[in-house]
Chains A and B, each alone.
Chain A
């Protein structure tokens, strides 16, 4: 098969899911075959980042896709190994190095990792406020990127990430792995085949964000390079209740449940509804912040997004309950003129949908919606083929935009009109200033 034909057949198959075994000779002398080992660098290896590590001891073993990252569970992981690790927390670094085994290079400054010529691609699993800058700098350094969700903290950041990926021809996958789950794929097939008729409303529900309390600021522990942790964000004195896992309850660093889980649940909605390259025309957010304590992201909120051409409504309800019989703590209901469908959860392996959808998937010609072999696996395949992954940067930006727009509406407490083409608010000067946040110190887009 000629390379051109191979590329054509890959495109015809709907994406990035072909190259499993291509011998070195097809690709030219001196080049790594797609089946060769991918060398990964990891920036941010605390809670989430740990799950992306590829220990040296696993190399060469036939293993299923990374747990919780979706896929059919049948295909095996392609070879990859973690060769470089970076974290501002020395404890995280030591733990990860032990877990990976071998002799990974360790760095406290991610810029040194990006300079490492032995790294092909990087996983970024830092707090949200670092995602954009690290992704952009990784693209500039020639690395492909798997960036955890949500992609960015501002609309400007997201667009700059898209531009950087495009400018350097880099593969960027955003870690909303919900669309790599089998149930999400089944739901996408079902809905796109018209089984619900015209879908007019998608209602996402999720439990509330924590209220928090007052915890005194303190000196940072010696193992943390706190200035680097804050990076481009607004300087705040160190506080254990806003670093590591708790960062997400402050707008400066995270932005609440709508960003944390919204970037999963609304990612599936955006994918199914074909909205990965566009956005709403209006955002109406209501809700309540913590009445006391150090956090500032919405405890409760309801955001209504109106889309045009086609017309449909997306609702983020925090909290919200779709019906008494559904026990799942979060998910989405798709309402069409012929019926309704529920996709519960939407992030990990617990993602589920209705039996009728599974039955339909087993009967229909389900080749129309690309099926991911697992979110990490999809990324690694695309690094080899240079195809766009299932949650490519534009989609990652547009989904993060939904989260950001909801938070801007919540902060301003007024209905906003949005131009999804030019990515500007209409008739609202203050809202438009919130599209960007200048960086701090040497950290700028």
Chain B
């Protein structure tokens, strides 16, 4: 306790060198100092910086080993200062640090702030980084009640996490009349890359901006690439052949490259049709793919 008092006094010292020495040693401080550090951490001042750095050092000191003795105490302290009694910058800092070390048991007290407009972005950031199914479930539960302008952010998190349980949610999102939600649904679906029980129905590209259409096609190509890795060649082939028929040169190239990974006679036949393409980039890509399939390096 006496050490904690000295530590907190040093953090508040007028001397930058004293503050620095204190924050560098913060890994040895008790988690009991976290609430006080939280009160000091908001300012754009030397003391504010020393307090934030001390919290960060405490996190790093318990970060390597999930079973370390102080870890639970540090996490509890951070959850406490992520609450509404603390200024917003401190809550944000606490959530960032929790994203480095929090485990599944911390998800409920973190996820409960997802409805707070000023904090929701940081809550999703934090949940996105916490391993395990609890975060996926919390994000999917939050999606149901989220306003439309925030649904794409949650879908992005689920896609980034490759959450297989979110495939149904993505399929549902792809059918949304809200284009931002529909496009992000396709993006997330492609990133998860899991074959659903029923065929995916992608948003109609015709009604989308070029950037949105590009996002949807990219989601489809990512999905196809994932199917190749899973050995679902027929599923992948259908996507690549569709892309091959598009006028866009780079979608044709992506299809050719994907088909070469499949490596079947059917895939070779599709690539063959592009060896005489009028487009030079497509033609060179097809030549290189052809050579790679034949086992000779381009």
**Residues of A near any B CB (own CB < 8 A):** 3-4, 7, 11, 27-32, 111, 114-115, 137, 139-142, 166-170, 214, 216-217, 234-235, 289, 291-294, 385-386, 411-414, 427-431, 433-434, 436, 438-442, 444-445
Q: Which residue of A lies closest to B161 (CB)?
A: A438
A-B contact count (CB 8 A): 133
- In the assembled complex, how far is the CB of residue A48 from the closest CB belonging to chain B, in whole angstroms? 25
In the complex with contacts A31-B280, A386-B284, A429-B66, A292-B46 CB distance below 8 A: yes
In the complex with contacts A29-B278, A291-B19, A412-B63, A166-B157 CB distance below 8 A: no
Bound CA–CA A440/B157 (angstroms):
10
Is B144 an interface residue when CB atoms closer than 8 A count as contact?
no
Q: Which residue of A lies closest to B157 (CB)?
A: A438
User: When the two chains form their complex, are residues A11 and B285 in contact, meaning their CB atoms are under 8 A apart?
Assistant: no
Bound CA–CA A27/B20 (angstroms):
65
Which B residues are CB-close (under 8 A) to A4? 287
Q: Which residue of A lies closest to B49 (CB)?
A: A292
Is B85 an interface residue when CB atoms closer than 8 A count as contact?
no
B contacts with A, residue count (CB < 8 A): 63
User: When the two chains form their complex, are residues B160 and A140 in contact, meaning their CB atoms are under 8 A apart?
Assistant: no
- In the assembled complex, how far is the CB of residue A376 from the closest CB belonging to chain B, in whole angstroms? 20
Stretch at the interface among B31-39, B166-174, B198-206, B245-253: B245-253
User: When the two chains form their complex, are residues A169 and B253 in contact, meaning their CB atoms are under 8 A apart?
Assistant: yes
User: When the two chains form their complex, are residues A141 and B100 in contact, meaning their CB atoms are under 8 A apart?
Assistant: no
Bound CA–CA A444/B45 (angstroms):
32
Bound CA–CA A201/B207 (angstroms):
58
Extra pairs beyond A28-B283, A412-B64 (8, CB < 8 Å): A4-B287, A11-B297, A31-B278, A413-B57, A413-B60, A430-B60, A433-B129, A440-B125
Is B192 an interface residue when CB atoms closer than 8 A count as contact?
no
Interface residues as binary, B145-163 with A (CB distance below 8 Å gives 1, 0 otherwise): 0000000110011011000
Bound CA–CA A70/B98 (angstroms):
46
Which A residues are CB-close (under 8 A) to B16? 291-292
User: When the two chains form their complex, are residues B278 and A439 in contact, meaning their CB atoms are under 8 A apart?
Assistant: no
Which A residues are CB-close (under 8 A) to B249? 142
Q: Among the listed B215, B280, B287, which residue makes an inter-chain contact with A7, where contact means beta carbons less than 8 Å apart?
A: B287
User: When the two chains form their complex, are residues B225 and A167 in contact, meaning their CB atoms are under 8 A apart?
Assistant: yes
Is B10 an interface residue when CB atoms closer than 8 A count as contact?
no
In the complex with contacts A29-B278, A141-B214, A168-B60 CB distance below 8 A: no
Bound CA–CA A139/B248 (angstroms):
13
Bound CA–CA A4/B257 (angstroms):
19
Which B residues are CB-close (under 8 A) to A291? 16-17, 19-20
User: When the two chains form their complex, are residues A169 and B153 in contact, meaning their CB atoms are under 8 A apart?
Assistant: no
Most interface-central of A140, A414, A428 (chain B CB within 10 A): A140
Bound CA–CA A429/B129 (angstroms):
11
Which B residues are CB-close (under 8 A) to A217? 44
User: When the two chains form their complex, are residues A11 and B298 in contact, meaning their CB atoms are under 8 A apart?
Assistant: yes
- In the assembled complex, how far is the CB of residue B43 from the closest CB belonging to chain A, in whole angstroms? 10
- In the assembled complex, how far is the CB of residue A19 from the closest CB belonging to chain B, in whole angstroms? 11
In the complex with contacts A166-B257, A168-B250, A170-B250, A216-B44 CB distance below 8 A: yes
Which A residues are CB-close (under 8 A) to B124? 438
User: When the two chains form their complex, are residues B211 and A412 in contact, meaning their CB atoms are under 8 A apart?
Assistant: no
User: When the two chains form their complex, are residues A430 and B280 in contact, meaning their CB atoms are under 8 A apart?
Assistant: no
User: When the two chains form their complex, are residues A169 and B287 in contact, meaning their CB atoms are under 8 A apart?
Assistant: no
User: When the two chains form their complex, are residues B215 and A140 in contact, meaning their CB atoms are under 8 A apart?
Assistant: yes
Is B227 an interface residue when CB atoms closer than 8 A count as contact?
no
Which B residues are CB-close (under 8 A) to A440? 121, 125
Q: Among the listed B101, B209, B258, which residue makes an inter-chain contact with A430, where contact means beta carbons less than 8 Å apart?
A: B101
Is B218 an interface residue when CB atoms closer than 8 A count as contact?
yes
- A and B contact pairs by CB, cutoff 8 A, 27 listed: A7-B287, A11-B297, A11-B298, A28-B278, A29-B278, A31-B278, A32-B280, A115-B210, A115-B211, A137-B214, A141-B211, A167-B254, A169-B250, A169-B253, A214-B46, A217-B44, A291-B17, A292-B16, A411-B60, A412-B63, A428-B63, A429-B66, A429-B101, A431-B63, A440-B121, A442-B180, A444-B156
Which B residues are CB-close (under 8 A) to A235? 121
Which A residues are CB-close (under 8 A) to B49? 292-294
Which B residues are CB-close (under 8 A) to A293? 49
Is B96 an interface residue when CB atoms closer than 8 A count as contact?
yes
